[in-house]
Amino acid sequence: MTKTHCPYCSLQCGMDLAREGRALEVRPWTEFPVNQGALCRKGWTSTGLRGHRERLTTPLVRDRATGELRAAGWDEALDLVAGQLRELRASYGADAVGVFGGGGLTNEKAYSLGKLARVALGTSQVDYNGRWCMSSAASAANRALGIDRGLPFPLTDVEQTDVLVLVGSNLAETMPPAARHLDALRARGGHVVVIDPRRTATAERADTFLQPVPGTDLALALGLLHLLDAAGAVDEEYVAARTVGWAEVRAAVASWWPERVERVSGVETAQLRRLAELLADAEKVTILTARGAEQHAQGTDTVLAWIDVALALGMPGRPHAGYGCLTGQGNGQGGREHGQKADQLPGYRMIDDPAAREHVAGVWGVDPSSLPGPGRSAYELLDALGTDDGPRALLVFGSNIVVSAPNATHVTSRLADLDLLVVADLVMSETAALADVVLPVTQWAEETGTMTNLEGRVILRQQAASPPSGVRSDLDVIAGLAARLGHDFAADPEAVFAELGRASAGGRADYSAISYDRIREEHGVFWGTERMFGSSFAHPDGRARFVAVEHRGPAEPVDPTYPLHLTTGRVLAQYQSGAQTRRIADLPDDGPFVELHPMLADRIGAYDGRPVVVTTRRGELKAPARVVDTIRPDTVFVPFHWVGANKLTNDALDPSSRMPEFKVCACAVTA
């Protein structure tokens, strides 16, 4: 029996893996506090890729003569990659090589990938798909609270709050074991509020449901602040003692009377007033944002506005109250803390900070001046591929860009312009199918490594089975490439984690006191403190920052040609780009669909189950209609687990987080 964790979302639910002949069987691990033995359908079937006929088990190299991928040995493949990387760097400079990571990589892999980029390749062009996950919440939390940790308290704390506000979260389908906390909260008399353009499974478990126009969550927050201030519900003592900037925010929300909010958001004035009264009367309020609020060109400002609401009520730092973000990907938190993000070094240090550069360079044994500066963010990196001043080679680890990138047709064309595309994956994903070199790597049950869940709890995934013959771990691949480029990298995960601890020591995300043994003993170890902000915030003066923001609306408003709002998201049985879950037989794979309201269906002559075509300025998708009365009549929804949805989405970026506007764009639908 091996204690480990689910390979999917940021809950990182604990599970036991037991040997049943050659197979692995998932069993509950009831002692792990996050899920206490509960798992969703994806977790129970997570061993389904073991022995799958589509597992990659040998490196593949594209034959220049035929254009086809052929089997190759590991030495041939790695020698080829290293040789081409050296040639491109010699001809075009270090930034001719880009590195693209993933929010599902272990902390050890994320750390090694960033080190590979900065030390062995010398490139600034490194980022990861977590930029598309919770970067807006990270940007906002750093600015307002002085530090970015998804939840600054254990998830179980939400059961003890009085009012829980979920903004843009469908956790009943995206992280089902967490939904039990909603039920426990309501059972003890608490109140759950859900804000979403769709009446989701989560909304069905709520006491209050608000259904705004996509992209207007910021206006709702401003309207709430207006009403709370007018009602004298602002905790003036807390504001004076623990924050700065309230006067500017108070002035900014003065014009956001409820009737204006209704015109912008579609949420009735009476509903907004009732919510303000509910918050004003509650002793403990917890506000949680998720992708629905964050994946916008104004996502950072939206999160800042909701943090302003929490601060005005005096909640952050109080027991069973405050603000948090529901991280999406399995290692969305740890993945950005240790160096695979364009502007950061291990320990959540900023790469343009001289002291940070000196510390990390000392651990790496290099001159601080040799480290590159900040590079392009994820989408900007992909948009620059193959251009005169952009990377001419790209190494991809743990990401299926062709499915997950916004404006995906454009991004796919950029991948085709590269001189060299290298993809490390366990199956032939849509991105791997385009690669010049494909490297077969281990999956979660076949390797050991740490993850950091949505609470900032560092957990240990332990190897439960040997990988197929011919498959190597990502750490082995990174170390092999580094060696060919003249650098000695550790490939043992525990040794890498110890080095990560030294590199992160003294940083905002300091892992130096965490060890594998301690994680095993304590069922996970929080970095920092288990509950943050009790006595001070992470700014030098100990005070939180109110930040005045203004609603601008979606980057692409509706018009007569594209009169509807398109929004995207997940479904219960699938995860992210679907590269893993779409290959598991026990998970239903119905393919993409278009969810629309009966009024809209009647207007365009659409029928449930029959194809409709969704068109935006970037592309079109043909898929069966699902006619439901749980979505706004002016909005359509498409899940993003299949090729197609992100051919439609807008690549407009948040100016602070560089988050693309996945969650809303203008579209048209025809039957």
At 554-582, the pLDDT tens digits run 999 999 999 999 999 999 999 999 999 99
- Quote the Cα angle for 576-581-585, to 5°: 160
Q: Are 533 and 145 in contact (CB under 8 A)?
A: yes
Q: Are 141 and 333 in contact (CB under 8 A)?
A: no
Whether the per-residue pLDDT at 322 is higher than 80: the answer is yes
Report the pLDDT averaged over residues 149-160: 96
Superfamily of domain 135-326+540-545 in CATH is Dimethylsulfoxide Reductase, domain 2 (3.40.228.10)
Query: Using one digit for the tens of pLDDT, what is the confidence trace for 605-643?
Result: 999 999 999 999 999 999 999 999 999 999 999 999 999
Q: Are 71 and 60 in contact (CB under 8 A)?
A: yes
Confidence of residue 48 (pLDDT cuts 50, 70, 90): very high
Q: How far apart are CA 581 and CA 171, in angstroms?
A: 18
Report the pLDDT averaged over residues 506-521: 97
Which helix (H) or strand (E) segment holds residue 544: the answer is strand 544-545
Whether the per-residue pLDDT at 20 is higher than 90: the answer is no
Whether the per-residue pLDDT at 22 is higher than 90: the answer is no
pLDDT in the model for residue 590: 87
Whether the per-residue pLDDT at 21 is higher than 80: the answer is no
Q: Are 287 and 163 in contact (CB under 8 A)?
A: no
In this structure, what DSSP letter does residue 526 have? Answer: E
Judging by beta carbons within 10 Å of its beta carbon (0-12, 13-18, 19+), is residue 613 exposed, middle or buried?
A: middle
pLDDT in the model for residue 472: 98
- 294 three-class SS: helix
pLDDT in the model for residue 501: 98
Q: Would you kindly state where each structural domain of the chain is located, as residue ranges?
A: 60-95+108-124+332-394+414-522, 135-326+540-545, 564-670
Does the domain formed by 60-95+108-124+332-394+414-522 have CATH 1.10.10.10?
Answer: no
Report the pLDDT averaged over residues 2-8: 96
Report the pLDDT averaged over residues 266-282: 98
Report the pLDDT averaged over residues 376-393: 97
pLDDT in the model for residue 23: 84
Look up the pTM and report it.
Answer: 0.97
Does the domain formed by 564-670 have CATH 2.40.40.20?
Answer: yes
Report the pLDDT averaged over residues 271-289: 98
Share of the chain above pLDDT 70, in %: 100
Share of the chain above pLDDT 90, in %: 97
Fold match between 135-326+540-545 and 564-670? Answer: no
- The residues, any chain, with a CB within 8 Å of residue 114's CB and separated by 6 or more, are 101, 126, 338, 339, 340, 341, 345, 346
418 is written with which tokens?
């590269």
pLDDT in the model for residue 442: 97
Instruction: Between 540 and 64, name the one with better pLDDT.
Output: 540
Q: Tally the C-alpha atoms within 13 A of residue 68's C-alpha that lie toward its C-beta.
A: 3
Confidence of residue 328 (pLDDT cuts 50, 70, 90): confident
Report the pLDDT averaged over residues 85-95: 98
Q: How far apart are CA 321 and CA 342, in angstroms?
A: 33
Torsion of CA 40, 41, 47, 51, to 10 degrees: -160
Q: Are 56 and 469 in contact (CB under 8 A)?
A: no
Residues paired with 625 in a beta bridge: 594
Which among 150, 132, 133 has a CA at the least distance from the CA of 141?
150
Report the pLDDT averaged over residues 574-592: 92
